Structure 1
Amino acid sequence: MKKFLLFISNGSEMLEISPFIDIFGWNKIVGDKKEKIDIVTISYENFVNATWNLILKAELKFNEDIMYENEYDGIIIPGGFGNAGYFRDIKEERFQKLLKKFYEKDKLIIGICTGAIALGEAGILKGKKATTYFLDNKRYFNQLEKFGAIPVMETIVQDKNIYTTANPESALIMGFKLLEKVTSKENMEKVAFNMGYLYLVKK
């Protein structure tokens, strides 16, 4: 069995949360049944104020005393908006410690869009190729150098066990990429086909 934490902060963007839940939910119905894969939502409190006035209920309430890095195969950090409290939440020391623990255990770490800023704040992008949101005025992308990262203006960038992505659309692509990584290309294509994403299926 494989399990991934999906950390939802205040201000997280729904389009960067839902693809992982939906894709792996569909995988349980139409995908490979050989291995169970769970995406488990977690947040500081039971309820989270996501972007655009959505209130979400996470499955787990974050507890600093629990060694999540020993139980989970990786962690996914959706991006979000500062005016909804996102950057305040990801700069919390307890959250940065959590990311460092996953990094020290060589677990898979995925930062979607401005979620890459969370990885930078935790100090785990030093010397790593990374991307983040680079449209509008590049104010987030320009922060990568401050964290010691090597900025790459691409939609998805992988550096060993760390993935960073550049926009809300990339969450869907990354969701299918993760499914392929933990199962197989054939299984990913089967799930994508059944979800109607025919452009992802090999002709």
Structure 2
Amino acid sequence: MKSILVFLASGVEILEVSPFIDVFGWNSVVGDKGNPIKLETASFGKDIRCTWSLGLKTEIDLSVDEIDIDRYDALVIPGGFGMAGFFKDGKNPKIQDIIQKFYKKNKIIVGICTGAILLGEASVLQNKKATTYFLDNERYFSQLKKFGAIPIKGTIVRDENIFTTANPESALRMAFILLEILTDKKNCDLVKENMGYKIKKKREN
């Protein structure tokens, strides 16, 4: 069984979390039953507060639980707001170590919006093309150079197995991209259609 670890820092933005929960939840119901994908959430403490004060309970408490990296195929880090304390958890040596281990094992790593900053803090963006939130006077985007990254003003940027994105809107698209990578295009289109998203059909000549 394939598995995804989703790290939720305090102050995470729920719109960057829910697409992954929904897409892979729908996949378990209407997708390829022969290739189930398990999604697990982790945080420091099992109760966290999101950017807009919504409370979430996670399955793994990183302050006491250890992570077996080999159990997972991908790591997803949704972004959040600094005013809600998002970046504090990203400086924790334990999550930085987890990110580095995923990187060293060449597993998929996804940083949504300001989640890319946590990847930079863990020193995995050096000489990598990357993006992050580039509105608001580019104050987050400008940090990419500090991490040794190659800043790209794109909505979704891939460099080998590292994906970074620029805003909350990109989270849903990235969830479908990840689903397609872990399964295939046919399965991804099936999930999209069942969720109400129209699939463009190629015209026959």
TM-score by structure 1 length? 0.96
Corresponding residue for 1:190? 190
Structure 1 contact 64–94 (Cα < 8 Å) conserved: no
Aligned positions of 1:1-203 closer than 5 A = 1-62=1-62, 66-198=66-198, 201-203=199-201
SS at match of 1:45: coil
Give the Å deviation of 1:93: 1.4
SS at match of 1:51: coil
Amino acid at match of 1:37: I
Amino acid at match of 1:202: K
Deviates more, 1:140-149 or 1:67-76: 67-76
Cα deviation digits, residues 56-113 of structure 1 (max 9, x gap)? 0001111576243121111100000111110111111111111111111111100000
Structure 1 contact 69–107 (Cα < 8 Å) conserved: no
Q: Report the Cα distance in structure 2 between the residues aligned to 1:166 and 1:65, rounded to whole angstroms.
A: 31
Q: Number of residue pairs matched?
A: 201
Q: Report the Cα distance in structure 2 between the residues aligned to 1:47 and 1:197, rounded to whole angstroms.
A: 32
Q: Report the Cα distance in structure 1 between the residues aligned to 2:149 and 2:20, rounded to whole angstroms.
A: 26
Structure 1 contact 129–157 (Cα < 8 Å) conserved: yes
Distance 1:67 1:53, change over 3 A: closer
Q: Which runs of 4+ in 1 moved over 2 A?
A: 63-68
* Percent identity of equivalent pairs: 57
TM-score by structure 2 length? 0.95
Amino acid at match of 2:62: F
Higher helix share: 1
Cα deviation digits, residues 12-35 of structure 1 (max 9, x gap)? 000000000100000111111111
Q: Report the Cα distance in structure 1 between the residues aligned to 2:28 and 2:166, rounded to whole angstroms.
A: 28
Amino acid at match of 1:136: D
Distance 1:98 1:82, change over 3 A: same
RMSD value, Cα: 1.1
Distance 1:101 1:184, change over 3 A: same
Gaps of at least 5 residues in structure 1 are none
SS at match of 1:141: coil
Q: Report the Cα distance in structure 2 between the residues aligned to 1:75 and 1:68, rounded to whole angstroms.
A: 12
